Amino acid sequence: MILDKSTIVGVIGAGTMGTGIAQIASTYGHTVILYDISNEQLNQSKKALSKILERQVEKNRMTQNEIDGIMERIRFTSELSDCADCGFIIEAVVEDLSVKKELFQKLENLVSEDCILSSNTSSLSIASISSAFESPERFLGVHFFNPAPLMKLVEIIPGISTSNNVSQTVKELMDSWQKVTVLAKDTPGFIVNRVARPFYGEALRLYEEGIADAATIDWAMKELGGFKMGPFELMDLIGHDVNYKVTESVFKDFYYDPRFKPSFVQKRMVEAGRLGKKSGIGFYDYREGVKNPEPVTDRKLGDKIFNRILAMLINEAADAVFMNIATAKEVDLAMVYGVNYPKGLLKWADEIGLSFILDAMSALQIEYREDRYRPNPLLKKNVRNGDLFHG
């Protein structure tokens, strides 16, 4: 089974992710069928893509010829039957299990037997979508990050029934699209959306406890931690409705493990319609003329904030390895290329010293007596044996 440039790629859903994925596939020479039920959405997608590509010409990153080629290779359609000749399909429609299942049932009857089908879902299990298939061995998760053409990471998630051959073939195709791939188990949040939870969750907890305000926590994570954005800026950008929903679904899917408990502060923001940048106000006020509070740039406080959030992130990264979701190398790659972390979390732990992180977790656990702060067994074992995550 080979997927190469001659493979016609079907992208289902012409929203944010579908448009970006279609751009990538076309850039690498594939004919792309970009399908959506909404003609209006297809027009919007075409316009948005042209605008993005024209900017590349203005910046001398691409020639007019190249971008004409990219646009010509994409066929925007509202007829699902146009996908009949596709050799590889990526679904990126609304995050709704019944919509996705119905689509795959139709697609499976339409395409040839050797077509590989995949979903870009962030929060549904691959197993649950695969139940729609007669041949689930040809279906898997292929999870891109937003914006798909810029973020290098793709998580490849085989389901319980996916054949090894299919995962390998898709990995090779993603390699040919210059993506960094990691193989993840079909568990809630896969790698990135699981390991990144404390970046938001622990920041919100610090805020709720009144240890610092949003600006100060953001300052600590950027200035002392080297993160490109602080957690509150990032949540405001993602939108609290979206971020809260992911947190809530990860929490439920982990059978209410307190490590993933959502925050009341964020829930209230959603209820009040303070969704972040898109609604003009979130933790920060984006309305014209409004001046936001300055951070308290106290180094001692900053270290306390940064160390606590980093320890929680590393503990979570260790858990992903401990539970065989992915290897230490893959977890680190995922966080660097999926969410632009300044360093792989486990490499960071090796550098800082694992006992420093374990001490930070143990101190939190003793202080709060909450299961949320339990140190991961692999972290404990490595400290005991003097081992590193990257041996």
**Which residues sit at the interface with ligand NAI, rule CB under 6 A?**
12-18, 36-38, 41, 92-95, 99, 103, 120-122, 144-146
Which residues contact residue 310 at a Cβ distance below 8 angstroms, ignoring those fewer than 6 apart?
225, 345, 348, 357
Residue 22 CB, shortest distance to ligand NAI, in Å, is 11
Residue 141 CB, shortest distance to ligand NAI, in Å, is 10
Tell me how many degrees the CA angle 274-224-346 measures, rounded to the nearest 5.
Answer: 95
Choose between 146 and 292: whose C-beta lies nearer to ligand NAI: 146
Choose between 64 and 146: whose C-beta lies nearer to ligand NAI: 146
Cβ-contact 229, 347 below 8 angstroms: no
- Residue 156 to residues 160, 251, 293, Cα–Cα distance (Å): 13, 22, 42
Choose between 103 and 320: whose C-beta lies nearer to ligand NAI: 103
Query: Which residue, 162, 170, 104, is CA-closest to 133?
Result: 104
Choose between 19 and 162: whose C-beta lies nearer to ligand NAI: 19
Choose between 38 and 297: whose C-beta lies nearer to ligand NAI: 38
- Residue 328 to residues 201, 236, 290, Cα–Cα distance (Å): 22, 30, 44
Q: Which of 45, 193, 307, 382 is catalytic?
A: 193
162 CB-side CA count, 13 A: 30
Residue 43 CB, shortest distance to ligand NAI, in Å, is 11
What does the block give as tokens for 174? 């993603």
* Catalytic residue check, 143: yes
Residue 11 CB, shortest distance to ligand NAI, in Å, is 10
Instruction: For the chain, count helices (H), then strands (E).
Output: 17, 8
Q: Which of 26, 45, 118, 122 is catalytic?
A: 122
Dihedral in degrees, nearest 10, Cα atoms 309, 351, 364, 317: 60
Q: How far apart are CA 4 and CA 287, in angstroms?
A: 48
* Catalytic residue check, 243: no
Residue 145 CB, shortest distance to ligand NAI, in Å, is 6
| C-alpha 200 chain-centroid distance | 14
What's the full length of the chain, in residues?
Answer: 391
Choose between 341 and 389: whose C-beta lies nearer to ligand NAI: 341
Q: Which of 143, 167, 263, 315 is catalytic?
A: 143
Q: Which of 155, 202, 233, 330 is catalytic?
A: 155
Residue 156 CB, shortest distance to ligand NAI, in Å, is 14
Residue nearest to ligand NAI according to CB distances in the complex: 15
Catalytic residues: 122, 143, 155, 193
